[in-house]
Amino acid sequence: MISIQNLISQGTRAPQDLASLTNVLVGGSQVPNEAMDAFKSTLRSQAVLTPCYGSTELGIVTCGSWGKDISPQIPGNIGTGKQLFNGYCGNAKATDEACITDQQGRRWFRTGDKGRFSADKQLSITGRFKQIFKVDTEEVAPTEVEAVLMKHDGIKDAAVTATEDRNDPRYYETKTYVVTAEDKKVDAQELVDFVASELSCHKAPTGGVTVLKELPRNTMKKVVTRELGNAEPLTGSVGYMNVLSS
């Protein structure tokens, strides 16, 4: 969705190209509120933009119309809903490992996502526990850094991971793999400083910027993180760096 919005804002495509859309669902990762607002403004007034959240096992779990059913003031808000799949067929052990039971005897599916509920039970997703890592003592959620990188007009696609701290293997630094937009040359140091200016220095990809032809994705279009390190880096890739701008 962000890539489509970038094409429109850069003048490569016109808003009229989206005129036939009446109902748009967006999910797969946390989407910044400003990106939702920008995309909604390119759709015709009657069109409905619906952020949604789910999993491979459950499909769509929660959703709501942007600006109507859910509050744009809450970052990562994806509406409300409740459902649970029947379990891993014939595999009680896998089902028990994937679920927890509360004191009232209700069974909950453990998704591995980090988030919060508002007072009116609106769910906001802030990242995935298994992907969140620490730089020094500060938490870094890859989706947050990826969203900022996608705001850069020279970036077409991005994935963020942790890499070993150059000075202490007990800690991490942020690293990114990017696909540049056509006819755009992006300097790695520029990206480091760009993220630092939008977020903070410890979230900037000082662990390296690797330029790829494309990111490895599975059939669900999710980035296959374990294959990123095996991809052939292109010209412009740089290893460890420091934030230069303040």
Positive or negative CA dihedral for 18, 24, 30, 34? positive
In total, how many domains does the chain have? 2
What was the pLDDT predicted at 197? 95
End residue of a domain, out of 128, 157, 176: 128
What confidence category does residue 138 fall into, taking pLDDT thresholds of 50, 70 and 90?
A: confident
Do residues 124 and 6 share a domain? yes
Using one digit for the tens of pLDDT, what is the confidence trace for 65-74? 887 666 555 5
**Number of other residues whose CB lies within 10 A of the CB of residue 223:** 21
Judge whether 131 and 142 are in contact, CB under 8 Å: yes
Do residues 13 and 123 share a domain? yes
Measured CA to CA, the distance from residue 113 to residue 134 in angstroms comes to 16
Positive or negative CA dihedral for 175, 147, 152, 233? positive
Whether 40 has a pLDDT exceeding 80, the answer reads yes
**Is residue 102 in some structural domain?**
yes
Which pTM was predicted? 0.63
Do residues 123 and 171 share a domain? no
**Is residue 238 in some structural domain?**
no
Do residues 118 and 169 share a domain? no
Using one digit for the tens of pLDDT, what is the confidence trace for 103-123? 988 878 777 777 777 787 777
Using one digit for the tens of pLDDT, what is the confidence trace for 82-108? 555 666 778 888 888 888 888 988 878
Do residues 93 and 159 share a domain? no
CATH number of the domain within which 27 lies = 2.30.38
Using one digit for the tens of pLDDT, what is the confidence trace for 49-69? 988 877 766 677 777 788 766
CATH number of the domain within which 159 lies = 3.30.300.30
Do residues 49 and 152 share a domain? no
What was the pLDDT predicted at 182? 83
Element (H, E) at 144: helix 142-149
Domain extent at residue 46: 2-128
Do residues 49 and 123 share a domain? yes
